[in-house]
Amino acid sequence: MRRDLFRHEHRALPPSWYAASVPPRVPLPPLQGARQADVAILGAGYTGLSAALALAERGFKVEVLEARRIGWGASGRNGGQVLVGYGCEVDTLEAMVGAADARTLFDFSRQGVQQVRERITRHGIDCHWIDGHASVPITARQERSLRGHLDTLVERYDYPLQWWDAATLHAQLDSPRYRGALFDPLSGHLHPLAFVQGLADAARAAGVVIHEDSPVLALQRGPHPQLRTATGSISADHVVLAGNALLEGIAPELERRMMPVGTYVGATPVLGEARARALIRNAMAVADTGWVLDYFRLSHDHRLLFGGGASYSALPPPGLGQTLQQRMWKVFPQLQGTGFEYLWGGYVDITPSRAPHWGRLTPDIYFAQGFSGHGVAAAHLAGEVIAEAIAGQAQRLDVFERLRHKPFPGGRWLRMPLLVATMAMVKLRDALG
């Protein structure tokens, strides 16, 4: 398996404010021996657990194999922003599948956010949901692009976005950095690790068996596919591959169409309620729209959680903490001198188009990847859509399968340098406004 961005014990969750702010859990026993299930799932993040829960609720016998711990991947470490839409804009979807399917896909993503809210309520998951998200432009070019996005989504997609001018934004966000905001009242934010652990508890209560510390070493394809670990195997009628950016060596045709990119989050010390709420008065989540975006929100214990940066190797970039801190101080100069008490990272799985890549490898093997940094709601949706397809209703998955994905140019070894070159050009364009 690929080494994590920060060294740590595999059996423990990666150190983060998230891991420090949930109660400790006893690890679930690894897989032992040969087992049978209706559905075997690789990966206990949002995708795998959402599919597991939806399938168990429909009466399927489901077993999940997790290499490390529940929520060990991106689902336990992300920025917590629960967003309508996908990693690409609707224009990209329209170019790929036409206006009608793009609209359908966008509406599915609205259902995804709604499902997240419903699951939290139905299963009593204590994950600190807060409404509201602002996309904020730094440059004139970014503002033009966001305003174009607003027109498209309001006029053609009936989506209730609002444009806030600089004064309206500054009444909520005490930062001099932005020109206005595209405010989305239906998106929001939550504690991502508490959410994924709550999903796991709901799935187990519905009868799902989860094996932790059980890395899948091989996928056997065929009419009764099998997932194998060092200590056992699960044969099933259906397999779901939900390993996201960490899936390595199991299905090369998926890996070629996705690239892991490191991104990072820092948590300040507790600021106190008054100081924290002075930064973001309505407590919404915020993200800018640069290529290497900054994304931030308040935690329920009144810290600022500030995410950003990107790396293209398994190692964190040198001086990561200082760089991220400088970025935070640019947004909130009043925090000058405040650093991070926690700092962690993880991989996002990007596709060349940033559109989601979900579908079937064979009639019995399903997968979802390519969330492109936009996966809290979308991965949850992917699990539901795959569960429906396994239960015989593939209409929603069929629409996703019409998004065709090319491999990254340059293949496995050159995809990284080529992306870095593209990034440099886009950064320059951003800097020129």
Ligand X SMILES: Cc1cc2nc3c(=O)[nH]c(=O)nc-3n(C[C@H](O)[C@H](O)[C@H](O)COP(=O)(O)OP(=O)(O)OC[C@H]3O[C@@H](n4cnc5c(N)ncnc54)[C@H](O)[C@@H]3O)c2cc1C
Residues in contact with ligand X by CB under 6 A are 42-48, 65-68, 72-75, 77-81, 83, 215-216, 242-244, 246-247, 250, 263, 265, 295, 307, 345-348, 371, 373-376, 379
d(CA 186, CA 47) in angstroms, rounded, equals 21
- Nearest distance from C-beta of residue 116 to ligand X, angstroms: 10
3-state secondary structure of 242: coil
CB 174 within 8 A of CB 334: yes
Burial profile 188-227: b = 16 or more Cβ within 10 angstroms, e = fewer? bbbbbbbbbbbbbbbbbebebbbbbbbbbeebeeeeebbb
Question: Of the two residues 316 and 339, which places its CB atom closer to ligand X in the complex?
Answer: 316
- Nearest distance from C-beta of residue 216 to ligand X, angstroms: 4
Residue nearest to ligand X (CB): 375
3-state secondary structure of 258: coil
Question: Of the two residues 168 and 283, which places its CB atom closer to ligand X in the complex?
Answer: 283
- Nearest distance from C-beta of residue 370 to ligand X, angstroms: 9
d(CA 244, CA 251) in angstroms, rounded, equals 11
Question: Of the two residues 156 and 228, which places its CB atom closer to ligand X in the complex?
Answer: 228
Question: Of the two residues 47 and 115, which places its CB atom closer to ligand X in the complex?
Answer: 47
- Alpha-helical regions (H) of 191-272: 192-205, 252-255
Residue reference for tokens 């340059």? 410
- Nearest distance from C-beta of residue 346 to ligand X, angstroms: 3
Question: Of the two residues 137 and 308, which places its CB atom closer to ligand X in the complex?
Answer: 308
Residue 77 carries which DSSP code? T
d(CA 236, CA 233) in angstroms, rounded, equals 10
CB 399 within 8 A of CB 102: no
Question: Of the two residues 175 and 263, which places its CB atom closer to ligand X in the complex?
Answer: 263
3-state secondary structure of 234: strand
Residues in the chain: 433
Helix orientation angle between 192-205 and 99-122, rounded to the nearest 10 degrees = 80
Question: Of the two residues 244 and 289, which places its CB atom closer to ligand X in the complex?
Answer: 244
The two three-digit tokens of residue 217, written as one number: 């070493």
- Nearest distance from C-beta of residue 328 to ligand X, angstroms: 15
- Nearest distance from C-beta of residue 248 to ligand X, angstroms: 7
- Nearest distance from C-beta of residue 410 to ligand X, angstroms: 23
The two three-digit tokens of residue 203, written as one number: 């799935």
